[in-house]
Structure 1
Amino acid sequence: MAKDNNTNKKPKFSSWWIYGSIIVLLIGFQFFGSSNLSNTKKTTTSELQEYLRNGDISKILIITNTNQAKVFLSDEALQKDVHQDVNIKPWLPSTGAVPQYVLDYGDLQIFQNEITEIKKENNLDTIVEFDKESNLFMEMLLSILPFVLIIGIWIYLMRRMSGGGGGGAGGQIFNIGKSKAKLFDEKTDTRTSFKDVAGLEGAKEEVEEIVEFLKHPDKYTSLGGKIPKGALLVGPPGTGKTLLAKAVAGEAKVPFFSLSGSDFVEMFVGVGASRVRDLFKQAKDKSPAIIFIDEIDAIGRARGKNNFTGSNDERENTLNQLLTEMDGFGTNTNVIVLAATNRADVLDKALMRAGRFDRQIYVDLPDIRERKEIFEVHLRPIKTSEKLDLDFLARQTPGFSGADIANVCNEAALIAARKEKKAVSKQDFLDAVDRIVGGLEKKNKIITPGEKKTIAYHEAGHATVSWMLEHAAPLVKVTIVPRGQSLGAAWYLPEERLIVRPEQMKDEMCATLGGRAAEKVIFDKISTGALSDLEKVTKQARAMVTVYGLNDELGNLTYYDSSGQTDYSFSKPYSEETARKIDIEISKLIEEQYVRAIEVLKENKDKLTILAERLLEKEVIFKEDLEKIFGKRPFEKEFDEKGQEIPKEAVEDALVSEKTSAEPDKEEENK
């Protein structure tokens, strides 16, 4: 066993060893080819003149381009004691004569004249030669270096673009066109099952049938049916589209290829299409298999949009290859494509047609019953201090997605841990909802008493108007403690409606304008604190006029385009006269509700003042405080255990039956 371990621990061969060896050889060639390892000694001009007068020098080689002179001694001079230091043979062979001395001279003319004068005085036959020295290696290196750098940078970029790591003798240079999909192993990688997906019954049923197709295809093909080629998961962010795909990977027990739409996009032409081909080739080889493409709108956008340059679009080439592959393989290959997006309106029509994505599964935001099931899933690992009322939590989180609910549960656990608690309580969950909806509480924010009073009356105005209007959302809590970017906030429990009527929208707009109306009624002044309120009512009014056709002046018209084509046009779908009319109707609608809010607050000015004073005192008030001031809300609705609204007639009948059953008891007491 030890022998095997040692064998496995041997270092792998790396191409860097080859590069290093070449560099060492080149440096060695340059080093050994020079005279650095010879016995050449540096001398001075005065010593040179002395050696020349003594007749020791046989030749002087003057290098004109380096201002250096090489001195060669005669054989007789080498036997003298003064030159014994340079009379040692070099330990490496040399191709040419090696000088014994070398010196740097200054001015060439002066140096040459001095040597000529000494030669004449002493009648010497010393040879004086002139030459230019060149380094062939350095010249060759400098000429090749730019090409080496360009090739090196290109190899580095190719490695980075293709994901780094090994993968064979050429690295990843030629693997850039390979698919980057991750292949999940059903035995180890995937742990999610359909039990972990709460709610989404309709979507889950469709996806479960796809898994059944792959497990028992004969059940459907025996009747002449064909296995669907693709299913598109569409819905808002956080609703569980990717979670459904993970559950499919865990339940199908077949190879599951997962990747993002952006994995196809590269800076090199043709890479995206090549990766699509490689992905489907791998899936066919391992069929039956599932391909999951998350955020498919990265490559599936409608062709011909925003391509003003008229140049070749790499994304369109990738989409064309995807369309060909999805429509190209036969029905017996058992490869199903799952895709997810929250922008189905921008996808290409050719991608959405039957035969490619046969099914479009809409994953909507959960309703109150589904939110309760989602809470049950996410509360499993959380240690709670009491049995939580899940119906209450589900009602407190309208419009929350599955991801939001998971965040609420996690935030509640963090809040409880911050407070040194041993378990999570109901109040921690309410604080978590406030934290997510309103933002972080800022108790240390400096607010003047005048500003605080204005904020209190502003929030009290919201609460009063919403309490007095039938279709406005019932109040849950009002606070003047700053949160996030807001100086105060009011929490409502909106009714979950599938259709909305004009009177309901008008009541909501009136309640939203109650804050500014309260400032006008109490202080006869208005402030900038109603910015978010004005933004909200303006959007609502514009939607009533231009989208839903709820305005009598414009009639039953809508300028909403569900296909998203108007996003790419530079002109409005209506004339300038209609645009002026739209602006007038929007302004009229908002001003009517503002006047209405002022009238409601004037009628209840005394109660508004009491509510604002209590808000200044406590900083946070709840529904119970409003009931003490205004009395029971006449439009209050009752809910059953499942969160469904109980009709008002049923509540009245229950009260009548309770009253009649109590009457005989009173008669017995009288007797």
Structure 2
Amino acid sequence: MDDNKKENNKNTPKFKFNTYWIYGAVILLLISFQIFSGGDLATQSISKNEFNEVLKQDDISKIIVVNNNVAQIFIKEEALSKSKYQKLTNSAFYRKGESLYEYNFGDLQNFENDLEEARTESQLTFDLKNEGRTSMVDTFLGFLPFIILIGVWLFFMKRMSGGGAGSGGGGQIFSIGKSKAKLFDKDTKVKTTFANVAGLEGAKEEVQEIVDFLKNPEKYTSLGGKIPKGALLVGPPGTGKTLLAKAVAGEAEVPFFSLSGSDFVEMFVGVGASRVRDLFKQAAQKSPSIIFIDEIDAVGRARGKNSMTGGNDERENTLNQLLTEMDGFGTDTNVIVIAATNRADVLDSALLRAGRFDRQIYVDLPNINERKEIFEVHIKPLKLGNDVKIDFLAQQTPGFSGADIANMCNESALIAARHGKKAIEHQDFLDAVDRIVGGLEKKNKVITPKEKEVIAFHEAGHATVSWMLEHAAPLVKVTIVPRGQSLGAAWYLPAERLIVQTEQMLDEMCATLGGRAAEKIIFNKISTGALSDLEKVTKQARAMVTVYGLNEEVGNITYYDSSGNDSFVKPYSEDTARTIDKEISKMIEAQYQRAIDLLSNNKEKLTVLAQLLLEKEVIFKNDLQKIFGKRPFDELEEKVEDVIEEKIEEKEKISPVDTTTEE
């Protein structure tokens, strides 16, 4: 029972004091003081006749005229015993010596004349006195507009300075130049480690060496080496740059400062540079330490020669301060800067030079083996069916980043739950790929039977041509179910090549044009449905001619500029431009005619495939094998793979130790 009470006490939110309560208490005290100090809570307003009656009885001891419009009537002590006054004097709010009545007389001159006349006629004994009084509430209301303006100004200044307790110094304006970096040390450890980062072996090795240097600097300094100043993680979005930095925080037993490049940016002049100085000052105090700046391009963009924003550019001042801190006089401080960006091309050259970021680590999209490792990490919390094939999923997701794979695993779980399944099956993962790549299935899209037939023959044309070509990617499935902006799609299992030969690119172009070629052969008409196909083959042909030098007429020349400095300059003449246009058109038309010839020779099988597609809407590789038979290229590849496996097994039997060493 005691333990439960302790746990409940821990979960109970702690009392937090708010400074606004002080303001409320002061205002409440002012109002209370005004009400209770006035002494008129028991005072009763009377009419002119009632006032004249009290006046004639000579019960009034004194009359005080307040602010020339209200008279406070005080009764003599000997007269208070009368019954008509007892009702007021017995009130809990009445205090001895205070006024009993209040009379609003109107014009002061007439009131004074009436009093003087009554005093003379009836020989009355009372004192008359004039007073000017000011209410504290009235005074407060008079200053209220100025108080509101000051309060609004303080509120906005607090918000601009970061606000809250986490901004240092209670979020006051004086702490605006403080660093916003989040500190991870022995008290706030990060649970992410290198074990949670699948793939990225080269990047992990580079970063691991930095962590080892901070843990055991003598191992490297004993040979005369110096600690690297910084490492820049560069790569496409979603490849795991920030995750890798979190793993560094989890692995390193040193303080780790984490912040974004936009945290340096502020509307006030000099704030960014001040935060940079404060960040490196804190890091130096906790040396050895690591600073991680995510999205450094927000502050590290290349400086222009002619600044359009004037001579005092705040972003440039921040960058200059960062450059100074990274390569200043204090080289003995063991502070390493790790930064991440997916736009390394826009960074300033002074930031990228050796001595600041000594290492640029490229975090590329994962290959097939790395994707398999990433899948194994993300499927751990999932309930999988027995038919899930991780190897096939890794093959089916070329170009997917780690974030895409995580999204795919989550999407497959949602699809399985939507269908009321107890476990996630292999088909749910394939549906998740369709959902991510193709878009949401459009079940309510109105398609006429004629349009559906054209779409079926178009997709069947893609499937047929790709099946007949050696270097085309093997087919996985064909569908005429509309998704996103597409009316149909053919899914392939592309091989991940590091280099691509001319024949391979031409086969891919021919397979891409197979849809339009099928429309031409069957209907003798062409439609607008091949727009994306034409865009793809045009880009491929232009790249072959102008980038990769794969055209005999143009020759071994490339007009590609990797630096991007000549984007507004055409690097070839008008005659060369005509030649390029001619060769691009010639290449595309040759592959289009090749696709027509292939489909003309297999027109019957094309028709059978299209009819099957109209019937089922989705067909798979097995259906194509029934119509066309096995691809001869697949059989050749399987034989080569079998021979390689036999050779490896023989080698392992002879010398397993040597084999392991070679691997």
> Please, what TM-score do these two structures have when normalized by structure 2?
0.79
Alignment of 1:472-483 (within 5 A): 472-483=472-483
Identical counterparts, % of pairs: 66
Structure 1 residues 517 and 142: CA distance shift in structure 2, 3 A: farther
How big is each residue's C-alpha offset from its partner over 1:356-383, in whole Å with a ceiling of 9 and x where there is no partner? Answer: 1001111112222333333344444445
Per the alignment, residue 666 of structure 1 pairs with none
Structure 1 residues 637 and 253: CA distance shift in structure 2, 3 A: farther
How big is each residue's C-alpha offset from its partner over 1:518-545, in whole Å with a ceiling of 9 and x where there is no partner? Answer: 3343334444433433443344345445
Structure 1 residues 81 and 433: CA distance shift in structure 2, 3 A: closer
Question: Is the 8 Å Cα contact of residues 163 and 171 (structure 2) preserved in structure 1?
Answer: no
Structure 1 residues 317 and 136: CA distance shift in structure 2, 3 A: farther
2: CA distance, partners of 1:547 / 1:408: 34
Distance apart, 1:462 and its partner CA = 1.7
The letter for the 1-side match of 2:344 is: A
Per the alignment, residue 27 of structure 1 pairs with 31
Question: Is the 8 Å Cα contact of residues 186 and 250 (structure 1) preserved in structure 2?
Answer: no
1: CA distance, partners of 2:548 / 2:16: 69
1: CA distance, partners of 2:105 / 2:487: 82
Per the alignment, residue 276 of structure 1 pairs with 276
Structure 1 stretch 452-461 or stretch 516-525: which is displaced more? 516-525
SS in 1 for 2:225: coil
Structure 1 residues 435 and 86: CA distance shift in structure 2, 3 A: closer
The letter for the 1-side match of 2:532 is: S
Question: Is the 8 Å Cα contact of residues 31 and 137 (structure 2) preserved in structure 1?
Answer: no
1:612 maps to 2:616: no
Distance apart, 1:148 and its partner CA = 3.1
Structure 1 residues 70 and 165: CA distance shift in structure 2, 3 A: same
Distance apart, 1:449 and its partner CA = 2.0
Question: Is the 8 Å Cα contact of residues 88 and 94 (structure 2) preserved in structure 1?
Answer: no
Structure 1 residues 159 and 59: CA distance shift in structure 2, 3 A: closer
Structure 1 stretch 538-547 or stretch 330-339: which is displaced more? 538-547
2: CA distance, partners of 1:177 / 1:330: 22
Structure 1 residues 11 and 438: CA distance shift in structure 2, 3 A: closer
The letter for the 2-side match of 1:210 is: I
Of 621, 624, 647 in structure 2, the residue corresponding to residue 623 of structure 1 is 621
Per the alignment, residue 255 of structure 1 pairs with 255
Question: Is the 8 Å Cα contact of residues 467 and 475 (structure 1) preserved in structure 2?
Answer: yes
Structure 1 gaps of 5+ residues are 655-671
Alignment of 1:96-175 (within 5 A): 100-103=101-104, 135=134, 137=136, 140-142=139-141, 144-160=143-159, 161-165=161-165, 172-175=172-175
How big is each residue's C-alpha offset from its partner over 1:125-176, in whole Å with a ceiling of 9 and x where there is no partner? Answer: 9999999977464564356434433443344345444251378875554333
Question: Is the 8 Å Cα contact of residues 169 and 175 (structure 2) preserved in structure 1?
Answer: no
Per the alignment, residue 486 of structure 1 pairs with 486
1: CA distance, partners of 2:565 / 2:186: 42
Q: Please, what is the CA RMSD of the aligned residues? A: 4.5
Structure 1 residues 62 and 225: CA distance shift in structure 2, 3 A: closer
Distance apart, 1:488 and its partner CA = 1.5
Distance apart, 1:30 and its partner CA = 3.6
2: CA distance, partners of 1:115 / 1:520: 114
Per the alignment, residue 439 of structure 2 pairs with 439
- The total of aligned residue pairs comes to 632
The letter for the 2-side match of 1:214 is: L
Distance apart, 1:384 and its partner CA = 4.0
Structure 1 stretch 289-298 or stretch 72-81: which is displaced more? 72-81
Structure 1 stretch 307-316 or stretch 225-234: which is displaced more? 307-316
SS in 2 for 1:141: helix
Structure 1 stretch 475-484 or stretch 431-440: which is displaced more? 431-440
2: CA distance, partners of 1:122 / 1:376: 107
1:316 maps to 2:316: yes
2: CA distance, partners of 1:445 / 1:134: 81
Per the alignment, residue 45 of structure 2 pairs with 42
1: CA distance, partners of 2:57 / 2:559: 110
Structure 1 residues 143 and 519: CA distance shift in structure 2, 3 A: farther
1: CA distance, partners of 2:64 / 2:288: 86
Distance apart, 1:418 and its partner CA = 4.5
SS in 2 for 1:180: coil
Structure 1 residues 371 and 470: CA distance shift in structure 2, 3 A: same
1: CA distance, partners of 2:332 / 2:179: 23
How big is each residue's C-alpha offset from its partner over 1:97-129, in whole Å with a ceiling of 9 and x where there is no partner? Answer: 968333385xx6xx9779979988998799999
Per the alignment, residue 464 of structure 2 pairs with 464
Per the alignment, residue 665 of structure 1 pairs with none
Per the alignment, residue 286 of structure 1 pairs with 286
Per the alignment, residue 536 of structure 1 pairs with 536
The letter for the 2-side match of 1:284 is: A
SS in 2 for 1:328: coil
Distance apart, 1:179 and its partner CA = 2.4
Alignment of 1:384-533 (within 5 A): 384-386=384-386, 389-443=389-443, 445-533=445-533
How big is each residue's C-alpha offset from its partner over 1:253-306, in whole Å with a ceiling of 9 and x where there is no partner? Answer: 222222222222233333322222222222222222222222222222212399
The letter for the 2-side match of 1:397 is: T
Question: Is the 8 Å Cα contact of residues 296 and 340 (structure 1) preserved in structure 2?
Answer: yes
SS in 1 for 2:291: strand
1: CA distance, partners of 2:305 / 2:95: 73
The letter for the 1-side match of 2:392 is: F
The letter for the 1-side match of 2:363 is: V
Distance apart, 1:71 and its partner CA = 6.2
Structure 1 stretch 412-421 or stretch 295-304: which is displaced more? 412-421
Question: Is the 8 Å Cα contact of residues 61 and 128 (structure 1) preserved in structure 2?
Answer: no
Per the alignment, residue 222 of structure 2 pairs with 222
The letter for the 2-side match of 1:466 is: S
Per the alignment, residue 668 of structure 1 pairs with none
Question: Is the 8 Å Cα contact of residues 461 and 601 (structure 1) preserved in structure 2?
Answer: yes
2: CA distance, partners of 1:229 / 1:180: 22
The letter for the 1-side match of 2:628 is: F
Distance apart, 1:355 and its partner CA = 0.4
SS in 1 for 2:183: strand
1: CA distance, partners of 2:182 / 2:635: 51
Question: Is the 8 Å Cα contact of residues 49 and 115 (structure 1) preserved in structure 2?
Answer: no
Structure 1 residues 119 and 20: CA distance shift in structure 2, 3 A: closer
1: CA distance, partners of 2:521 / 2:40: 98
The letter for the 1-side match of 2:200 is: L
Distance apart, 1:492 and its partner CA = 1.0
1: CA distance, partners of 2:14 / 2:479: 69
Structure 1 residues 144 and 638: CA distance shift in structure 2, 3 A: farther
The letter for the 1-side match of 2:605 is: K
Question: Is the 8 Å Cα contact of residues 548 and 558 (structure 1) preserved in structure 2?
Answer: yes
Distance apart, 1:630 and its partner CA = 3.0
The letter for the 1-side match of 2:177 is: G
Structure 1 stretch 258-267 or stretch 524-533: which is displaced more? 524-533
Question: Is the 8 Å Cα contact of residues 40 and 102 (structure 1) preserved in structure 2?
Answer: no
Distance apart, 1:467 and its partner CA = 2.5
Structure 2 gaps of 5+ residues are 648-663
